[in-house]
């Protein structure tokens, strides 16, 4: 680093020092680090006495009050003139419900209404926007689909995200929608490293175990059953039901890993991170089938690169907005379906729905068929016959809770090591780290929004949920800032606003035995009610929500004799 | 020797030290802030007024004059001795640098101002008043003279600013230590404590000398061969202009962007092949190139009606418009009525629809970060293609095909993958070495034959010679650079590392 480079000062943008990608700590950064020490020390000393400053912000979304009205089971009377008829009613405006509506619309069928409890549609794919950028509130990417996920391919094609097919007929995602490199980095002991797996300092044994795990994933990527089905496919409906694969669901992922003698802390961390990231669960609690699904379903075949990720500044909010735009006139927001009753109407089977709005006013809808796209948890209280006698499978559905925070920062934090990526993971934290909203837009300077994800991975989701809902804005903000402060000591000074979303019932938890267990039975329609939700797959993925929405809509179309070409 | 001559020697040393600190502050300020007239005027003014303030404050010292004198001496040794490294560090990391600068100057001045009156009071019983005043002031001014002669002739050239600062701090503290012995009878029991403090101050400053190399390099003083005449940290980059006998240089994030001695070779080669290939271009786009020098070459062409310059950093375009050396070099290009300046990321700007351009000049810094790397992707070139009018041409800087051969060909391949027809070319720019460019268009293009008249490095023959690539620059296999792989940043890093 001393002395002039060869050939005098060679180089436009030339070579008085290496590019930031190699050595993150430039002279200036070193300088600042040196100078920052006394200040940092001073602020540490000051911290406990003064108490930390809480940034401006609020707890947004997830209307627990209106949501819990459904649970209370009080059904108001609906005046006779407040009843509406529609051929089909869809309950729930998350991805599953919107997909069902979108599917009906694409078949040219428009006699339907969609009821959504929140004031915004999108469910876990909701998003927000500031002056600076749009940002996600929940799910924020999908892996580029393989051609077998026909519904998602059709949807992305309609959105203009795809640019044709490759030689093998697999869809090609346009460059601007693929997650921009650098995709991810991990913070460990004071420094950022490229990628998720910590290669720096990995022993020979660590790398051997990583290779062995990859070989195992490759083996499953190559595996086909007698019918030619892949072991792990998206949507799950295309995965093999051969016992050789499904028996993986009876075992915990941690157990499965331990049985292979894989003890490398680096490998175990990577697998645990994967479980927390996709399922909000620890390695030990996750089904081995679900754990392997995360890795193997994203491979076209053995040795292939994992499918690239498709993302937008607002995350999957882009998809939700597209689906919504197609069906907006038929969507009613801020209406909670509190009672869904199957019966006869003028001698024909019909379903009556009572819904209430925030003011408590009730409305009624009569439909031939209902697509129930809200959680089974809601169904348990809303479907009249289930209130008295809930089906057995409901007891098996478990949801994790998440805290998601959006930090509006005035500028980017200083970096030590690998530069800011899209996904920024803290290795020594229970959180998943944060994604950067402006990354995909290519805006690399100035203000941005960091979306911070923190799943509660406790073995007992109820107590975790109670703890989450007991936290106020200041508690939540402190949790987020104290965590991020490890990697970004100056983060408090950069945050202009910090909003928090508490997802009480965020993700269905694929514990051992759940995905291939009895909950699968809930996919069958029941007295004119067709169910659609990612829960029915046991995997909290947009692809599964989309699949079930489309499937339920196609069941309805078939029942009504509307001609259509299946997307499944 | 009695103590009187020794104390006059003290006055001499203290005066020299004080002046050295003042000169150091003035020099650092004019190095980093430029405009040496203003900087020296302010520093001298503040320093002199602070001397007065110190003299006035000395009136509040009642008893223990000797002890206070030594304490002040040690304080000025520490503060003055550390002032140069402190100011460099402050400049590198604080936005309120000037406050630190003038605050330091004022404090040093106050402390030095305290010293002489205190010493006079110590000596008042040993000499007659007329002798005391005449000799004290004489030694004071001689000290200043010696310092002001030594500073430019010996100290700065031999020791540099940081070491000079520390060395004079040590001298100052050593004199303080000596004074504890000379004035031992006046100090009594306190002498030991003062000696301990003096030793501590000398230790701190000596440690500073030992680490002076580190401090110097940290403080950027060693980074540039020539004095810094302008420096500013913007949200996007650090801009530094240095000035030396061969002209001035512009650095962004410590990387040389241009040297006024030979930049014409680079900018003529960058601009004129594309302008010639497009025939009679009317609407021109300059992406990057906030220095206004590509713009200068574009405006040479009389057919040009409008130019849009897109550079992310308003501080850079403002510097090019208003900073005299740069504005002279670009011949006031940014003030030309045909020019419109947009301060936005070029890629974000291209994503919005806009009018077509006959020529686009692409002049970004080399792809050494991911945020620069994105400006060399198929996505970026695809957006650029959509902005190009039929028959239009693009001229791009593509790093060095000699030092970073695979990176160079990666840019060419990426342009081709985006649908451009490309003609690679190169020219020698002494400050950079062999430099690479590309001429790109939507249709197959012949290499241009005619250079506009009046250029310094290009005529028809040398224009043709640009397109001759010697065998050591011949194509290498390279992947296409995409937003989702950013291979170019990785190639570039690996290749330039070999030349470090």
Residue A493 token pair: 């000074």
Using a 10 angstrom Cβ sphere, with 0-12 exposed, 13-18 middle and 19 or more buried, the burial of residue B121 is middle
Share of chain A above pLDDT 90, in %: 77
Per-residue pLDDT, A63: 66
Contact status of A14 with chain B (Cβ, < 8 Å): yes
Res B214: pLDDT: 60
Number of domains in chain B: 2
Asked if A180 and B345 come within 8 Å (Cβ–Cβ), the reply is: no
Pairing relationship of beta strands B388-397 and B357-363 according to DSSP bridges = parallel
| Crossing angle for the helix pair B129-150 and B97-123, to the nearest 10 degrees | 150
- Residue B364, in any domain of the structure: yes
What letter would DSSP give residue A52? Answer: P
- What residues of A are in contact with residue B218 (Cβ under 8 Å)? 27, 30-31, 34
Tell me the shortest Cα–Cα distance from B266 to chain A, in angstroms. Answer: 10
Decide: A27 and B223 in contact? Cβ < 8 Å: yes
* pLDDT attached to residue A9: 29
Where among B188, B218, B248 does a domain terminate? B218
Query: Could you tell me if A223 and A216 are in contact, meaning their C-beta atoms sit under 8 angstroms apart?
Result: no
Q: Do B89 and A31 touch (CB under 8 A)?
A: yes
| Residue spans per domain, chain A | 64-123+315-395+511-560
A12 touches chain B (CB under 8 A): yes
Phi, psi of B342 (to 5 degrees): -120, 125
B13/B179 Cα distance (integer angstroms): 12
Q: What integer pLDDT is reported at residue A15 of this predicted model? A: 29
Q: Which residues of B touch A7 (CB under 8 A)?
A: 433, 499
pLDDT of residue A221: 95
| Among candidate residues A63, A74, A68, A79, the one with its CA nearest the CA of residue A362 | A79
CB B367 within 8 A of CB B485: no
Residue A20 predicted with pLDDT over 80: no
Q: How far apart are the first and last CA of chain B?
A: 59
Count CB-CB contacts under 10 A for residue B157: 9
Kindly tell me the sign of the dihedral angle through the C-alpha atoms of A207, A209, A213, A215.
Answer: positive
Provide CB contacts within 8 A for A396, sequence distance 6+. Answer: A514, A517, A518, A519
Min Cα distance A313 → chain B (Å) is 13
Contact status, residue A486 vs residue A429, Cβ threshold 8 Å: yes
For tokens 């792990």, what's the residue?
A: A232
Question: What is the rounded CA–CA span in Å between residue A542 and residue A406?
Answer: 21
Output helix, strand, coil percentages for chain A, rounded to the nearest 5.
35, 25, 40
Closest CA to B346 of B304, B319, B317: B317
Contacts of A131 (CB under 8 A, 6+ apart): none
Q: Tell me how far apart the alpha carbons of residues A11 and B258 are, in angstroms, rounded to a whole number.
A: 9
CA distance A462 to A469: 11
Cα–Cα dist B175/B14, whole Å: 8
Q: Report yes or no: A145 and A543 within 8 Å, Cβ to Cβ.
A: yes
B187 vs B180: CA distance, rounded Å: 7
B439 part of a folded domain = yes
The tens digit of pLDDT for each residue in B125-178 reads 788 888 888 888 898 899 989 999 998 888 877 777 778 889 999 999 998 899
**Is the pLDDT reported for residue A41 higher than 70?**
no
Per-residue pLDDT reduced to its tens digit, B397-411: 999 999 999 999 999
pLDDT at B35: 64
| Residue among B89, B218, B400 whose CB faces A11 most closely | B400
- What pLDDT score does B91 carry? 67
| C-alpha–C-alpha distance, residues A467 and A473, integer Å | 13
Tokens linked to B92:
């590198």
Q: Quick one: pLDDT at residue B500? A: 63
pLDDT for A245 beyond 60: yes
Contact criterion met (CB below 8 Å) for B77 and B173? yes
Structure tokens belonging to residue A70? 């459904």
Judged against a pLDDT cut of 80, whether residue A8 lies above it is answered with: no
CATH number for A64-123+315-395+511-560 (one of 2.40.30.40, 2.40.50.140, 3.50.50.60, 3.30.565.10): it is: 3.50.50.60
Structural domain ending residue among the three candidates B167, B196, B218: B218
User: In this predicted structure, what is the pLDDT of residue B359?
Assistant: 98
Domain assignment present for residue B233? The answer is: no
Which pLDDT score, from 0 to 100, does residue A452 have? 98
- Nearest one of A372, A364, A343 to A553, comparing CA atoms: A372
How sure is the predictor about A544, in pLDDT bands with cuts at 50, 70 and 90? very high
Predicted confidence (pLDDT) per residue in A281-292, tens digit: 999 999 999 999
**Least confident among A30-44, B174-188, B464-478:** A30-44
pLDDT digits (tens, 9 = 90+) for B202-235: 999 998 887 766 655 445 545 567 766 777 778 8
Chain A nearest-CA residue for B485: A181
Residue B307: HSE in the Cβ half-sphere, 13 Å Cα cutoff: 32
Q: What is the mean pLDDT of residues A21-41?
A: 37
Both tokens of B475, joined, read: 């194509």
CATH number at residue B286: 3.40.50.150
Residues B203 and B327 in one domain: no
User: Quick count: other Cβ atoms within 10 Å of Cβ A423?
Assistant: 24
Q: Is B262 a catalytic residue?
A: no
**Contact: A9, B235; criterion CB under 8 Å:** no
Chain A, nearest residue to B489 by Cα: A21
pLDDT in tens, B61-70: 888 888 889 9
Average pLDDT over residues B351-372: 94
Say if the Cβ atoms of B92 and A9 lie within 8 Å.
no
Nearest to B369 among A1, A21, A308 (CB): A21
Q: What is the mean pLDDT of chain B?
A: 89
What is the domain-level CATH number for residue B125?
1.20.1250
B259 to chain A: which residues are within 8 Å by CB? 9
Question: How is residue A540 written in tokens?
Answer: 């909290």
Give me chain A's average pLDDT, please. Answer: 88
CA distance linking residue A415 with residue A424, whole number of Å: 12
Query: Is pLDDT of A49 > 60?
Result: no
pLDDT digits (tens, 9 = 90+) for B246-268: 788 999 888 889 999 999 999 99
Q: A281 in helix, strand or coil?
A: coil
Model confidence at A42, pLDDT cuts 50, 70, 90, reads very low
- pLDDT single digits (tens) B30-48: 666 656 678 889 999 999 9
- Average pLDDT, stretch A442-470? 91
Statement to judge: residues B150 and B266 lie in one domain: no
Average of pLDDT values for B467-478? Answer: 95
Q: Give the mean model confidence (pLDDT) for residues A217-228.
A: 95
Rounded Cα–Cα distance for residues A224 and A242 (Å): 9
Q: Is the pLDDT of residue B304 over 60?
A: yes
> In this predicted structure, what is the pLDDT of residue A38?
38
Residue B59 is assigned to a structural domain of this protein: yes
Per-residue model confidence (pLDDT) at position B154? 84
pLDDT band at B95 (very low <50, low <70, confident <90, very high): low
Quick: pLDDT tens for A502-525.
998 888 999 999 999 877 767 789
Rounded CA Rg of chain B = 30
Strand order in the sheet with B238-244: B228-233, B238-244, B247-252, B255-259
**B489 and chain A in contact, CB less than 8 A:** yes
* Both structure tokens of A443: 């805006």
The tokens for B35 are 């405009």
Q: B397 - beta bridge partners?
A: B437
CA–CA min distance B407, chain A (Å):
13
Q: Mean pLDDT across the stretch B465-492?
A: 95
Which residue, B84, B222, B227, B93, is CA-closest to A28? B93
Question: Any CB–CB contact under 8 A between A31 and chain B?
Answer: yes
pLDDT of residue A66: 73
Q: Any idea which residue has 């690679």 for tokens?
A: B424
Catalytic residue among B291, B313, B358, B363: B363
**Residues of chain A with C-beta less than 8 angstroms from the C-beta of B489:** 19, 21
Does B82 share its domain with B150?
yes
Higher pLDDT, A13 or A519: A519
Please classify residue A46 by burial: count the beta carbons closer than 10 Å to its beta carbon, then call 0-12 exposed, 13-18 middle and 19+ buried: exposed
> In this predicted structure, what is the pLDDT of residue B92?
59
Whether B238 maps to a domain, the answer reads no
Domain boundary among B171, B200, B218: B218
Nearest CA distance, A41 vs chain B (angstrom): 17
Which positions 387-426 of B are in contact with A (Cβ < 8 Å)? 397, 399-400, 403
Where residue A233 falls among pLDDT bands split at 50, 70, 90?
very high
Interatomic CA distance for residues B175 and B184, integer angstroms: 14
Structure confidence by residue, pLDDT tens digits, A303-324: 888 999 999 999 999 999 999 9
Q: Is the pLDDT of residue A338 over 70?
A: yes
From chain A, the residues in CB contact with B219 under 8 A are: 31
Q: How many CB atoms lie within 10 A of CB B498?
A: 9
On whether the CB atoms of residues B238 and A28 are closer than 8 A, the answer is yes
Residue A553 gets which letter from DSSP?
Answer: H
The verdict on A23 touching B (C-beta cutoff 8 Å) is: no
* Structural domain includes residue B250: no
- Residue that the structure tokens 């970096």 belong to: A415
- Specify the pLDDT at position B223: 59
- How far is it, in rounded angstroms, from Cα B32 to Cα B88? 8
Please determine, for residue A26, whether its predicted confidence score (pLDDT) is greater than 80: no
SS3 per-residue string spanning chain B: CCHHHHHHHHHHHHHHHHHHHHHHHHHHHHHHHCCHHHHHHHHHHHHHHHHHHHHHHHHHCCCCHHHHHHHHHHHHHHHHHCHHHHHHHHHHHCCCHHHHHHHHHHHHHHHHHHHHHHHHHHHCCCCCHHHHHHHHHHHHHHHHHHHHHHHHHHHHHHHHHHHHHHHHHHHHHHHHHHHHHHCHHHHHHHHHHHHHHHHHHHHHHHHHHHCHHHHHHHCCCCCCCCCEEEEEECCCCEEEEEEECCEEEEEECCEEEEECCCHHHHHHHHHHHHHHHCCCCCEEEEEECCCCHHHHHHHCCCCCCEEEEECCCHHHHHHHHHCHHHHHHCCCHHHCCCEEEECCCHHHHHHCCCCCEEEEEEECCCCCCHHHHHHHCHHHHHHHHHHEEEEEEEEEECCCCCCCHHHHHHHHHHHHHCCCEEEEEEEEECCCEEEEEEEEECCCCCCCCCCCCCCCCCCHHHHHHHCCCCHHHCCCCCCCCCCCCCHHHHHHHHHHHCCC
Residue A17 has a pLDDT of 30
Domain that holds residue B355: 256-497
Tell me which of A118-132, A194-208, B142-156, B470-484 is least confident. Answer: B142-156
Question: Is the minimum CB–CB distance between A442 and chain B shorter than 8 Å?
Answer: yes
Whether the CB of B497 is below 8 Å from some CB of chain A: the reply is yes
Interface of A with B in 188-207 (CB under 8 A): none
pLDDT, tens digit (0-9, with 9 covering 90-100), for A354-409:
999 988 899 999 999 999 999 998 999 999 999 989 998 888 899 999 999 999 99
Alpha-carbon distance B358 to nearest alpha carbon in chain A (angstroms) = 25
pLDDT at B302 over 60: yes
Name A320's Cβ contacts closer than 8 Å, sequence gap at least 6.
A94, A95, A98, A121, A122, A123, A125, A126, A127
**Contact status, residue B255 vs residue B365, Cβ threshold 8 Å:** yes
| Residue B285 shares a structural domain with residue B429 | yes
For B397, the token pair is: 């800087």
Which pLDDT score, from 0 to 100, does residue B145 have?
Answer: 92
Pairing of strands A59-60, A495-508: parallel
pLDDT, one tens digit per residue, over A128-168 is: 999 999 999 999 999 999 999 999 999 999 999 999 999 99
Q: For chain B, say whether A5 makes contact (Cβ under 8 Å).
A: yes
Lowest average pLDDT, out of A211-215, A257-261, B156-160, B383-387, goes to: B156-160
Q: Which residue of B has its CA nearest to A1?
A: B500
> How would you classify the pairing of strands A191-194 and B433-441?
unpaired
């Amino acid at each position: 680093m001393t002395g002039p480079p060869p050939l005098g000062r060679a180089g436009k943008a030339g070579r008085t020092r290496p590019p930031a990608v190699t050595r993150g700590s430039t002279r200036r950064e070193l300088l600042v680090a040196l100078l920052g020490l006394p200040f940092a020390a001073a602020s540490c000393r000051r911290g406990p006495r003064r108490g930390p400053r809480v940034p401006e912000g609020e707890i947004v979304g997830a209307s627990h009050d209106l949501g819990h009205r459904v649970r209370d089971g009080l059904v108001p009377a609906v005046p006779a003139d407040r009843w509406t008829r529609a051929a089909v009613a869809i309950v729930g405006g998350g991805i599953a419900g919107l997909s069902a509506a979108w599917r009906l619309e694409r078949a040219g069928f428009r006699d339907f209404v969609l009821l959504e409890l929140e004031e915004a549609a999108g469910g876990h794919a909701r998003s927000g926007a500031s002056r600076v950028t749009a940002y996600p509130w929940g799910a924020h990417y999908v892996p580029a689909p393989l051609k077998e996920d026909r519904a998602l391919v059709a949807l992305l094609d309609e959105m203009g995200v795809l640019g044709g097919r490759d030689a093998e007929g697999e869809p090609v995602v346009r460059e601007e929608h693929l997650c921009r490199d650098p995709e991810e980095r991990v913070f460990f002991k004071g420094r950022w490293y490229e990628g998720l797996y910590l290669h720096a300092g990995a022993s020979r044994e660590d790398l051997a175990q990583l290779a062995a795990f990859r070989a195992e994933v490759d083996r499953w990527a190559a595996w086909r059953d007698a019918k030619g089905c892949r072991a792990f496919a998206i949507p799950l409906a295309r995965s093999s039901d051969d016992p050789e694969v499904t028996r993986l669901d009876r075992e915990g992922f941690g157990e499965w890993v331990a049985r292979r003698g894989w003890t490398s802390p680096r490998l175990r961390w990577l697998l645990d991170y994967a479980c927390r990231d996709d399922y909000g669960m620890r390695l030990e609690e996750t089904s081995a089938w679900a754990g392997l699904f995360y890795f193997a379903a994203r491979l076209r075949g053995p040795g292939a690169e994992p499918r690239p990720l498709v993302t937008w500044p607002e995350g999957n909010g882009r998809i939700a907005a597209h689906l919504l735009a197609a069906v907006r006139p038929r969507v009613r927001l801020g209406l909670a379906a509190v009672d869904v009753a199957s019966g006869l109407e003028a001698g024909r089977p019909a379903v009556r729905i009572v819904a209430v709005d925030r003011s408590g006013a009730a409305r009624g809808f009569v439909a031939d068929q209902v697509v129930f796209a809200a959680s089974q948890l809601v169904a348990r209280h809303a479907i009249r016959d289930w209130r008295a006698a809930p089906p057995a499978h409901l007891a098996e559905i478990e949801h994790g809770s998440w805290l998601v925070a959006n930090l509006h920062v005035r500028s980017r934090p200083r970096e030590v090591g690998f530069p800011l990526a899209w996904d920024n993971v803290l290795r020594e934290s229970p959180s998943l780290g944060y994604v950067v909203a402006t990354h995909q837009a290519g805006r690399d300077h100035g203000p941005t929004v960091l979306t911070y994800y923190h799943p509660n991975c406790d073995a007992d989701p109820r107590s975790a949920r109670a703890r989450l809902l007991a936290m106020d804005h200041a508690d939540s903000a402190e949790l987020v800032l104290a965590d991020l402060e490890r990697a970004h000591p100056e983060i408090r000074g950069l945050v202009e606003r910090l909003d928090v979303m508490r997802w009480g019932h965020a993700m269905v938890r694929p514990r051992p035995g759940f995905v291939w267990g009895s909950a699968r039975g809930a996919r069958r329609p029941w007295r004119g009610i067709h169910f659609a939700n990612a829960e029915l797959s046991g995997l909290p993925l947009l692809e599964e929500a989309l699949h079930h929405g489309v499937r339920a809509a196609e069941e309805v179309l078939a029942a009504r004799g509307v001609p259509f070409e299946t997307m499944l | 020797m009695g103590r009187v001559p020794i104390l006059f020697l003290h006055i001499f040393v203290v005066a020299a030290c004080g002046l050295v600190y003042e000169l150091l502050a003035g020099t650092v300020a004019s190095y980093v802030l430029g405009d040496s007239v203003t900087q020296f005027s302010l520093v001298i003014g503040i320093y002199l007024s602070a001397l007065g303030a110190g003299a006035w404050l000395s009136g509040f010292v009642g008893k223990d004059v000797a002890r206070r004198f030594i304490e002040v001496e040690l304080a000025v040794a520490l503060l003055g001795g550390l002032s140069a490294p402190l100011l460099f560090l402050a400049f590198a990391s604080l936005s309120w640098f000037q406050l630190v600068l003038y605050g330091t100057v004022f404090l040093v001045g106050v402390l030095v101002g305290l010293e002489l009156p205190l010493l006079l009071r110590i000596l008042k019983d040993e000499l007659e008043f007329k002798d005391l005043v005449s000799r004290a002031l004489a030694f004071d001014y001689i000290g200043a003279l010696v310092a002001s002669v030594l500073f430019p002739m010996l100290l700065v050239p031999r020791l540099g600013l940081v070491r000079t600062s520390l060395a004079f701090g040590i001298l100052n503290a050593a004199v303080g230590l000596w004074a504890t012995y000379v004035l031992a009878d006046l100090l009594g029991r306190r002498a030991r404590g003062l000696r301990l403090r003096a030793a501590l101050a000398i230790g701190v400053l000596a440690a500073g000398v030992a680490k002076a190399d580190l401090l110097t390099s940290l403080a950027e003083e060693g980074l540039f061969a020539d004095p810094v005449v302008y420096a500013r940290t913007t949200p996007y980059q650090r801009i530094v202009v240095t000035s030396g006998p061969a002209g001035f240089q512009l650095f962004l994030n410590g990387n040389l962007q241009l040297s006024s001695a030979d930049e014409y070779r680079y900018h003529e080669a960058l601009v004129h092949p594309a302008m010639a290939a497009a025939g009679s271009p009317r609407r021109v786009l300059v992406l990057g190139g906030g220095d206004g020098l590509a713009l200068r070459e574009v405006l040479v062409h009389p057919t040009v009606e409008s130019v849009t310059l897109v550079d992310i950093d308003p501080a850079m375009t403002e510097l090019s418009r208003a900073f005299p050396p740069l504005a002279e070099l670009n011949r006031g290009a940014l003030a030309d009525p045909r020019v419109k300046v947009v301060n936005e990321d070029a890629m974000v700007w291209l994503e919005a629809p806009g009018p077509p351009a006959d020529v686009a000049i692409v002049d970004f810094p080399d792809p050494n970060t991911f945020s620069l790397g994105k400006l060399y992707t198929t996505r970026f070139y695809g957006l650029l293609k959509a902005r190009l009018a039929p028959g239009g041409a693009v001229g791009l800087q593509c790093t060095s095909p000699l030092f970073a051969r695979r990176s160079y060909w990666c840019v060419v391949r990426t342009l081709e993958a985006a649908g451009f027809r490309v003609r690679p070319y190169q020219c020698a720019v002494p400050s950079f070495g062999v430099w690479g460019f590309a001429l790109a268009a939507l249709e197959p293009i012949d290499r241009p034959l005619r250079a506009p008249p009046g250029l310094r490095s290009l005529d028809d023959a040398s224009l043709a010679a640009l397109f001759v690539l010697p065998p050591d620059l011949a194509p290498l296999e390279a992947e296409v650079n995409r937003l989702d792989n950013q291979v170019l940043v990785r190639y570039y890093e690996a290749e330039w590392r070999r030349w470090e």
